[in-house]
């Protein structure tokens, strides 16, 4: 009877081992002053995200500020005049969107 459950047990072990290795994307944006916003990206395992795409996108889906995080995993940009959101995109399953209303004031 135990042999019948062996394949199921192996699949469960494999599923739990890969989820233990997973890391979730994280991104935070804050206003430095009335005109500048700084976003910092990384992962839940504590690693940074240098070179990861971080675009500022208008509500009409146009890219207002194309960007990539710097060596310190940050990007500072001038606050757009139009309504916007920030898209941190480290690949499939690793995307974070931050609406302008959720950006911390200085």
Other residues' Cβ atoms within 10 Å of the Cβ of residue 6: 9
CB-based burial of residue 26 (10 Å sphere; 0-12 exposed, 13-18 middle, 19+ buried)? Answer: middle
List the domain boundaries for the chain. Answer: 24-102
Other residues' Cβ atoms within 10 Å of the Cβ of residue 69: 22
pLDDT digits (tens, 9 = 90+) for 36-70: 999 999 999 999 999 999 999 999 999 999 999 99
- Specify the pLDDT at position 15: 44
What pTM does this model have?
0.78
Residue 13 CA: distances (Å) to CA of 2, 20, 22: 16, 11, 15
- pLDDT band at residue 27 under the 50/70/90 scheme: very high
Give the H/E segment covering residue 104.
none
Topology (CATH level 3) of domain 24-102: Immunoglobulin-like (2.60.40)
């Amino acid at each position: 009877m135990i042999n019948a459950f062996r394949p199921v047990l192996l699949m469960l072990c494999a599923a739990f081992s890969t989820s233990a290795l997973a890391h979730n994307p994280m991104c935070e944006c804050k206003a430095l002053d009335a005109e500048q916003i700084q976003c910092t990206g990384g992962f839940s395992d504590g690693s940074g995200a240098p070179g990861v795409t971080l675009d500022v996108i208008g509500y009409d889906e146009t890219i207002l500020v194309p960007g990539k995080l710097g060596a310190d995993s940050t990007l500072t940009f001038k606050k757009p005049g139009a309504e916007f959101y920030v898209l941190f995109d480290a690949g499939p399953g690793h995307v974070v969107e931050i609406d302008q209303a959720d950006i911390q004031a200085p």
